[in-house]
């Protein structure tokens, strides 16, 4: 009876563990600690400089009996990929990654690299020659990109800034010094001091608000109206799962909406999150050309998540959720108040109408619009990204991105635009200060399941047509009108779209479900301002970030394809990522598909961006398109 008892015990353990968690719940501190102990008992524990890089729930769309975690660690200059089964408590896969690119930098590595120049004799001399106080110097490490090298190392370039009377570190750059650090050996391997420019003055650089925290009565206050059970959020007619991830930050999953007519919840979005960013600066000089950042893959929005400030980042009615991730030592790190959720009413209308054509009556009606917002803020160096997922009772999901923070600046001898006789690759935004031209691209991963798993992508063109008097009244004075021409994308190549070239409606529909009137149920992508990369296709940063050449992509679902710039984005070469996957040209009609959309900004800095930039907004909407039989607000 011993063997059957052990088998029974194993299955009971599997059932008990799996029942504790929603299958998409992020790894909790106890699980992170369990993974650390499992790895410390393995052969990896004996390797030098063992560094924990990433721990994430293994991507699986179907519910599995066991909880699996993907683990990435670095040791002796190599990247190890592990799969840990948390249910049985063991490593079930262990391999060394041999492809191009490196995993994200840890905070520990960035911190240690930032301290190296302060003890480096050549750097000390450079600071002394500039008449600066070394104790007032801050060093900031940047990733270096890839520019055709056949062999690469995991390296960082260090830029230096002078505080000296200011808390705005990025406002006082020390120009002309380049420092390259080998991350694995944690040593400076190259040092250059090629030019000098006046350090911008400290006066006028303080970005700290003097207004203090707002009174709670001025904030958005409603009566709550939502509940959180574990990671599941219920509000109005919406149910969805919210999670924190070290790479993506906030992840929204299994979003479904209750249909009053059908008396059931219907699926909309299986999973959505920011997949990758691309932030290339337009200065090709030696101190700047490499600044072509992919923040998600090189650092991580979750790693950069800031603790949210009540009454500033989130209103007084917000509920906060902590985030957890692994530190370089394998211990769980907590981000207090990483995500906030709040009900919002800002005076908008959900709908209204006044009818004056009923004899003897004036009929006015309408409803105020209240929505539910899920928010996080990622502070990646000088920039702050405010990321919102907003759910509306109409069935719309509105995704917002607000950019703020400090522009990345360089020192110059110029104090007035009249003095400039050369290309400075930016705008003079303060005395001796150039705000460098740059872009921000945020590519979203949207695994839509519109009323079911199998969907299709339809591009609906709006085309001008001439009036034919054979089909209309011969007395019509009209010469033209526009008409709708629909085309279902059969393959991935047919679903790559550059926006702005012609008017179009973009829909994801379920070809297996129809409304009572015979329309396929669907959701519409309402895009923001069309912004695409202006870099040459053969430029190395663009090769790495080829996913920014189109604003819209649609791919066949693959559990390994979530990160648009590839899983290992640091120093990547563009051979793994969205653009490469799409080249397979797989069938996407009536399949499980993923929609990718890029929010873009071309940023020409202006004086109002100094010393801190007012928020700059972008985003998109997912809006019902024949998903309901009629307006769902009229219940």
Active site residues: 295, 383
How far is residue 423's CA from residue 436's CA, in Å, rounded to a whole number?
11
How far is residue 577's CA from residue 570's CA, in Å, rounded to a whole number?
13
Count how many residues are written for the chain: 635
How far is residue 237's CA from residue 394's CA, in Å, rounded to a whole number?
9
- In the numeric block, the tokens 């600071």 are attached to 127
Q: State the number of CA atoms in the 13 A half-sphere of 3 facing the CB.
A: 0
Q: Which two tokens stand for residue 67?
A: 């909880």
Which DSSP helix (H) or strand (E) runs through 298? helix 295-298
Phi and psi at residue 390, to the nearest 5°: -115, 125
Across 409-433, b (16+ Cβ under 10 Å) vs e yields bbbbebeeeeeeeeebbbbbbbebb
Q: Which two tokens stand for residue 600?
A: 């873009």
Q: Which two tokens stand for residue 396?
A: 């719309």
How far is residue 228's CA from residue 234's CA, in Å, rounded to a whole number?
6
How far is residue 561's CA from residue 305's CA, in Å, rounded to a whole number?
23
How far is residue 5's CA from residue 377's CA, in Å, rounded to a whole number?
50
Residue 237 and residue 392 in contact, taking contact as beta carbons nearer than 8 Å? no
How far is residue 367's CA from residue 352's CA, in Å, rounded to a whole number?
7
């Amino acid at each position: 009876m011993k063997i059957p008892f052990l088998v029974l015990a194993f299955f009971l353990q599997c059932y008990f563990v799996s029942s504790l968690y929603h299958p998409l719940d992020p790894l909790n501190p106890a699980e992170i600690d369990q993974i650390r102990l499992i790895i410390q008992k393995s052969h990896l524990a004996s390797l030098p400089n063992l560094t924990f890089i990433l721990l994430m729930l293994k991507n699986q769309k179907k519910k599995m009996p066991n909880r699996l975690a993907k683990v990435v660690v670095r040791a002796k200059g190599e990247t190890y990929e592990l799969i840990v089964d948390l249910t049985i408590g063991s490593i079930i896969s262990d391999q060394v990654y041999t492809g191009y690119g490196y995993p994200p930098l840890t905070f520990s590595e960035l911190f240690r690299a930032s301290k190296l120049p302060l003890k480096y004799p050549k750097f000390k001399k450079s600071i002394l020659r500039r008449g600066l106080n070394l104790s007032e110097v801050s060093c900031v490490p940047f990733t270096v990109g890839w520019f055709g090298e056949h062999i690469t190392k995991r390296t960082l370039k260090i830029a230096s800034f002078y505080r000296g009377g200011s808390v705005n570190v990025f406002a006082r750059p020390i120009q002309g010094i380049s420092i390259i650090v080998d991350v694995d050996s944690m040593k400076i391997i190259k040092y250059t001091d090629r030019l000098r420019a006046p350090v911008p003055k400290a006066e006028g650089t303080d970005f700290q608000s003097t207004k203090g925290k707002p009174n709670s009565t001025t904030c958005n206050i409603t009566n709550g109206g939502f509940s959180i059970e574990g990671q599941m959020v219920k509000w109005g007619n919406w149910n969805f799962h919210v999670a924190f991830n070290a790479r993506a930050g906030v992840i929204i999953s299994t979003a479904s909406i209750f249909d009053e007519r059908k008396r059931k919840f219907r699926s909309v979005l299986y999973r959505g999150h920011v997949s990758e960013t691309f932030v290339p600066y337009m200065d090709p000089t030696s101190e700047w050309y490499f600044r072509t950042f992919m923040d998600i893959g090189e650092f991580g929005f979750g790693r950069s998540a800031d603790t949210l400030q009540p009454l500033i980042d989130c209103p007084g009615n917000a509920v906060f959720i902590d985030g957890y991730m692994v530190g370089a030592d394998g211990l769980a790190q907590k981000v207090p108040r990483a995500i906030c959720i709040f009900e919002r009413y800002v005076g908008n209308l959900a709908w209204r109408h006044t009818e004056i054509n009923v004899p003897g009556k004036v009929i006015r009606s309408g409803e105020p619009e209240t929505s539910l917002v899920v928010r996080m803020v990622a502070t990646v160096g000088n920039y702050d990204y405010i990321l919102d997922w907003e759910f509306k009772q109409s069935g719309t999901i509105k995704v917002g991105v607000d950019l703020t923070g400090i522009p990345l600046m360089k020192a110059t001898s110029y104090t007035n635009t009249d003095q400039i006789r050369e290309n400075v690759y930016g705008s003079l935004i303060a005395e001796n200060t150039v705000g460098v031209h740059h872009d921000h691209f945020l590519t979203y991963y949207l695994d839509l399941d519109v009323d079911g798993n199998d969907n299709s992508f339809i591009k609906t063109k709006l085309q001008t047509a001439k009036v034919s008097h054979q089909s209309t009244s011969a007395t019509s004075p009209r010469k033209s009108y526009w008409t709708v021409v629909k085309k279902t994308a059969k393959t991935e190549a047919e679903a790559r779209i550059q926006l702005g070239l012609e008017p179009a409606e973009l829909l994801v529909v379920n070809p297996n479900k129809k409304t009572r009137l015979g329309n396929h149920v669907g959701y519409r992508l309402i895009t923001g301002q069309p912004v695409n990369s202006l870099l040459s296709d053969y430029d190395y940063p663009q090769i790495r970030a080829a996913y920014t050449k189109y604003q819209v992509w649609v791919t066949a679902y693959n559990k390994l394809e979530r990160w648009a710039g590839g899983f290992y984005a640091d120093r990547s070469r563009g051979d793994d990522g969205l653009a490469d996957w799409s080249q397979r040209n797989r069938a996407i009609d009536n399949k499980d598909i993923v929609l990718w959309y890029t929010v873009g900004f071309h940023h020409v800095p202006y004086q109002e961006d100094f010393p801190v930039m007012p928020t700059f907004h972008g985003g998109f909407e997912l809006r019902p398109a024949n998903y309901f039989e009629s307006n769902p607000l009229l219940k």
